[in-house]
Structure 1
């Protein structure tokens, strides 16, 4: 019980991240997930791989260097696959920081990593890596492994001063009691996602960046109360507001 604390919502969090538990219950199980091929040659779906071609040693008994290395397709070369898996498992076991484990995971899998690692993480670490996973993901609101309700609860539990950079936090606390917000919904994207902005031009850009002829995105608008804004990020210059959309009255205001 000494390593347990409660956040403002009464959720149990650890005072200190348990790296061993994350290695054994998240990082290593992720490694042994099946590598799923795509329609694009050598491109794959896997938490640790974007491509099935990896560098492995010609002679496993010697250190891998420029003279003892080959590029292999681990979808067809089973010996190379076993060697890659052993190398990655060793890298996981030798990690001494959470960051080492986190950055091994592809950006599109990092929210899923947090989903399973959260119960072994301190509030500080969880808040830090939630922010990074959110802003580095191309489309976090449509992560198949993390429901909108789960994501909302995560932002509610996060330590806001750690979640946001100092400048972003200052913008967040100075928001008016009510503000008009916009969301650009491009083709194939979630209309009720959590990412919004107070900048209409930014929303328009997101809405129409992938337009194809008559198949076009659109912009949504809503009035939100300050307490329903969960975070503010300007890391990529997007004036992003993370919003609790459960009670939001949304209207479509424009089509190109």
Structure 2
């Protein structure tokens, strides 16, 4: 495993503990201070420490960051899919087309229940994503998360 660059280390130090991590990441990238390898190193930390990272800077910016970084995984031994992947999402209807999905139906059901407890009308959704459109997989926090290029979700079906 390669060592993280000094720039990436400094960025993570500055972003640690702040809710503005996604915006700081975008601003630092836009200013040219982070390279693709730097992004590859820092995206997992920023994405997984924020409850709703997509809402913080929007899907288009995140997709740009992930596409620049290349496929990202945490833990790093998780492999990129090589075949179409069925993914699941518990969400309100207006948030069905999001970036964060799960490869485990039961995890999506847990998110659906979480939002229902907050008084929201939620559904369980499923889609099949092509391997090239899987931007990251995160097996941390017990979420079994698959980050996708949501612009490429051709058919989202409500399944619960």
Instruction: Provide TM-score, normalisation by structure 2.
Output: 0.82
Q: Deviations over 1:174-193 (max 9, x none)?
A: x2411211111159x73221
Q: CA deviation at 1:123?
A: 2.6
Match status 1:184 vs 2:95? no
Unaligned runs of 5+ in 2: none
Query: Take 1:109 and 1:138, find their aligned partners in 2: how far apart are those partners?
Result: 12
The one of 118, 127, 130 aligned to 2:43: 130
**Secondary structure at 2:115 match in 1:** coil
Q: CA deviation at 1:16?
A: 7.1
Match status 1:205 vs 2:110? yes
Determine which structure has more spread, i.e. the larger CA radius of gyration: 1
Q: Deviations over 1:146-186 (max 9, x none)?
A: 2211111211111436x543222x3x2xx241121111115
Instruction: Provide TM-score, normalisation by structure 1.
Output: 0.53
Unaligned runs of 5+ in 1: 1-14, 20-95
CA RMSD of aligned residues (A): 2.6
1:158-237 alignment runs, 5 A limit: 158-160=69-71, 164-168=74-78, 170=79, 172=80, 175-185=81-91, 190-212=95-117, 215-237=120-142
Larger relative contact order (CA 8 Å, sep ≥ 6): 2
**Secondary structure at 1:156 match in 2:** helix
Query: Take 2:59 and 2:77, find their aligned partners in 1: how far apart are those partners?
Result: 26
Equivalence for 2:14:
101
Indicate how the Cα distance of structure 1 residues 214 and 227 shifts in structure 2: closer, same or farther if over 3 A, else same.
same
